[in-house]
Amino acid sequence: MNQNLSVILAVIGFGVVALSAAQLAGYFRKIKLPLITGLLVIGILTGPFILNLIPVSSIIHLGFINDIALAYIAFAASAELYLREMRSRIDSIKWMTISQLVVTFLLSGAAVFFLSEQIPFMREFSISLRIAASSLFAVIFVARSPASAIAVVNEMRAKGPFVQTAIGVTVLKDVFVILLFSLCLEVSVALFQDTKLSLNFAGILLLELAASIFAGFLLAGFLTKVLQTNWKQIPKAWLILAGGYLMYVLHHWLNDYTYALFQHSISIEPLLVCIIASFWVTNYSKYRAEFLRILERSGKYIYVPFFLLAGASLQLDLLTDVAGIAFLLFFVRLVSLMVGGYIGGALSGDSPLFKRLAWMPYVTQAGVGLGLATIVTNNFPVWGAQFSTIVIAVIVVNQIVGPPLFKWAINKVKEGHTRADTPAFDGIKDTIIFGFEPQSVALARQLLEAGWEVKIITLIKDVNKEEYKDLDIYYVEELSLEMLKKLDAKLAEAIVLMLTDEENLILCNLIYEHIGTSDVVVRLNHRYNFNRFHELGALIVDPSTAIVSLLDHFVRSPQAASLLLGMQKGQDTSDIQVLNPDIQGLLIRNLRLPADVIILSVKRRGNLIISHGYTRLRAGDTLTMVGSKKSLAEVSLKFGY
């Protein structure tokens, strides 16, 4: 009873700390540090060596969190291994994976073995035990972080053969890392238990492998049955995680039962079981999309307690002793990745540039490496804490160094598609409208009346410009970056795209990557293209729903709708940017605005912020105001230079 109460209290206390850590870790992103680093640091601060909010007794009771997280990590790593998406670069992915796996493992393992005298807990080991510990270091050093790699690729909108190979190798390598780790762990446990590596031992390994494969297919069947149900995703997520956790429960039970029966433990390898189950569901069932969605949405609820607990478990008193060797092993890993990357690039026939940069995508580490370190700690309680402390220190450095290196490599091979910087306001409101038709003509004339300078761009040659003497109409032969530069598109505060979806997408990509205009308005032709424009930050007008939405606003709030549409006589709305240095730093409540002007919203760095009287204005803020046209003109003049 007391044991159960202790576990419940430990879970409640840890839950409170985890909720706070999830919020506090977000601040690390603001200073350009990874979220995992923030969680590890908070775990160290709240752990037994500093604040003791997570005492040693709680860490012992919370071991099940690691088991759940490890099952999730195996699911997530294998779920990214979708064979159909790797076909186009299969040769490069194959050779790079083999090279990174074999070369990095052998080189880093050999380096750790020769440096074992510098590693405190390895000094007293025999040669065979040093080889065993070195192999565990080496296999963890091969591990990568698929989530971090995908995050960098998504952030940079990177596309191309280099990125495609990097993602394929990252996903495939982590699956083989877990398989290799299972083998190295079994051999290491046998060596440290003074078990002879005989034919009987090999037979037991084969038996465990067969049992793990069988259990993997059983778990795959269970996951498929869960995904087949009509239940909501939350209960499905709970059952999927419970299925993975039960493999660890079964593993521990079989270990104890077979040891009591045969004086030798025979069990399944839960990581291998989860990998097989996830691989089957991903590649051979029709539930891959839903499985991935569940894993993606469950990630933050798994990683926060896992990394927090890892930080709290860190032996801070040992960190000062092993900091030097941790940095040395970090450089050992880098060198082995460089050699492995170059050999892999050479075998796959990549260009010299690709071969030189091939190691950079694989520096970052996170969940897989940390999870494997946790397993070592649990299996070797005498020296596992020191091992884990060194590995965590290396992972933290890799987390800081890895993403910038990957981004630099993507830019170097010119496969990045990041957003261009937004041009500074030149004091004149310009807009460019692509497409010549009655709607674009009407829009241009309305903007002219509001004081904007407007250009209409058309791909039609025979436009009778005499009929539209009040408008600036330009004919262009093609949609290209050179054309945008000739039109001085960087000076435009807004660009309106009213061509076909294909033509609009060409322009939207060019504007996003090279021009940087913040307000790109797209008239959508087909609903299925919505997400493609949304990813580029465009403001999308869907004609099929726009009228319904407009009528809805007129029904529910007719005064506001007519005001925002400029239908109220003498009234208008306007976006006004803070450029005047005398205005910068003032509180909204201290602004001297005309009595008929109201601030509706404040936009800062592309985000709407909740504003009030005590909101302090900053340079570049855009204020949406409503009032009389005369008063808005006065305010615009006041806020400008």
Query: Could you tell me if 360 and 463 lie in one domain?
Result: no
CB 313 within 8 Å of CB 66: no
Residue 418 lies in a domain: no
Look at strands 494-497 and 430-434 and give their pairing. parallel
Residues 334-365 pLDDT 10s: 999 899 888 988 888 888 888 888 888 888 87
Residue 422: phi and psi, rounded to 5, are: -70, 125
Identify the domain boundary among 498, 516, 547: 547
CB 214 within 8 A of CB 273: no
Inter-residue contact 350 to 358 (CB < 8 Å): yes
Query: pLDDT band at residue 615, thresholds of 50, 70 and 90?
Result: confident
Residue 356 corresponds to which amino acid?
R
Among positive and negative, which fits the CA dihedral 179, 251, 233, 13? negative
Is the per-residue pLDDT at 568 higher than 70?
Answer: no
How big is the chain, counted in residues? 641
Task: Assess if residue 424 is contained within a domain.
Answer: no
DSSP symbols for 92-157: HHHHHHHHHHHHHHHHHHHHHHHTGGGSGGGTT--HHHHHHHHHHHHHHHH---HHHHHHHHHHHT
Q: Are residues 490 and 635 in the same domain?
A: no
| 220 plus 296 within the same structural domain | yes
Q: 592 and 541 in one domain?
A: no
Phi-psi region of 314 (alpha: psi -120 to 50; beta: other; left: phi over 0): beta
CB 311 within 8 A of CB 18: no
Give Cα separations from 223 to 230, 285, 425 (angstroms): 14, 10, 55
51-88: pLDDT as tens digits: 888 888 878 778 788 888 888 888 887 787 777 766 66
Q: Are the C-beta atoms of 207 and 186 separated by less than 8 Å?
A: no
CATH code of 619's domain: 3.30.70.1450
Domain boundary among 512, 547, 582: 547
Q: What is the mean pLDDT of residues 279-307?
A: 86
**HSE-CB of 401 using CA atoms within 13 angstroms:** 15
Query: What are the tens digits of pLDDT across the range 180-203?
Result: 888 888 888 888 877 766 666 677
Q: What's the total number of domains in the chain?
A: 3
Q: Edge-to-edge, what's the strand order for the sheet holding 607-609?
A: 571-577, 622-628, 598-604, 607-609
Decide which of 381, 412, 443 is a domain's last residue: 412
Contact (Cβ atoms closer than 8 angstroms) between residue 310 and residue 366: no
Only one residue has tokens 């030149």, namely 426
What whole-number distance in Å separates Cα of residue 402 and Cα of residue 396? 10
Q: How confident is the model at residue 154 (pLDDT cuts 50, 70, 90)?
A: low
For residue 188, is it within any domain? yes
Task: State the DSSP code for 604.
Answer: E
- DSSP H helices, 362-488, are 367-379, 384-412, 438-449, 481-486
Candidates 286, 310, 308, 298; CA nearest to 242 is 298
Written as six digits, the tokens of 146 are 């698929």
Are 13 and 61 a contacting pair, CB within 8 Å?
no
Do 407 and 435 sit in the same domain of this protein?
Answer: no
Q: Based on the domain organization, do 529 and 621 belong to the same domain?
A: no
How far is Cα 612 from Cα 160, in angstroms, rounded to an integer?
46
624 is in which domain, residue-wise?
570-639
With beta carbons less than 8 A apart as the criterion, state whether 61 and 312 touch: no
The winner for highest mean pLDDT among 223-227, 318-322, 586-590 is: 223-227
When the pLDDT of each residue in the chain is averaged and rounded to a whole number, the result is 82
Task: Dump pLDDT digits (tens) for 470-522.
Answer: 888 888 888 888 888 888 888 888 889 988 888 888 888 888 888 888 788 89
- Token pair 């999309």 in the structure block, residue: 289
Count Cα atoms within 13 angstroms, Cβ side, for 368. Answer: 33
| Tokens at 236, concatenated | 């499905």
Q: What pLDDT does 354 receive?
A: 86
The pairing of beta strand 430-434 with beta strand 598-604: unpaired
Is 417 domain-assigned? no
Are residues 85 and 165 both part of a single domain? Answer: yes
- Burial of 24: CB neighbours in 10 Å, binned 0-12, 13-18, 19+: middle
| CATH number where 519 lies | 3.40.50.720
How far apart are the C-alpha atoms of 103 and 99, rounded to whole Å?
A: 5
Q: How far apart are CA 549 and CA 296, in angstroms?
A: 32
Asked if pLDDT for residue 553 goes beyond 70, the answer is: no
Task: Give 623's strand partners.
Answer: 576, 602
Same domain, 179 and 299: yes
CATH number of the domain residue 341 falls in: 1.20.1530
Within-domain flag for 326: yes
pLDDT of residue 564: 61
Work out the burial of residue 108: count CB atoms within 10 Å of its CB; fewer than 13 is exposed, 13-18 middle, 19 or more buried. Answer: buried
Q: What is the reported pLDDT for 587?
A: 85
380 and 407 belong to one structural domain:
yes
Q: Are residues 587 and 490 in the same domain?
A: no
Distances (CA, A) of 607 to 114, 220, 563: 53, 43, 24
Q: Are residues 62 and 159 in the same domain?
A: yes
What Rg do the C-alpha atoms of the chain give, in angstroms?
Answer: 30
609: how many CB neighbours lie within 10 A of its CB? Answer: 12
Residue bearing tokens 């039109």: 487
DSSP conformational letter for 616: B
Whether 443 is covered by a domain: the verdict is yes
In a domain, 66, yes or no: yes
Residue 81 forms part of a structural domain: yes
- 102 and 226 housed in the same domain: yes
At 360-417, the pLDDT tens digits run 888 887 777 878 888 888 888 888 888 888 888 888 888 778 888 888 888 888 877 7
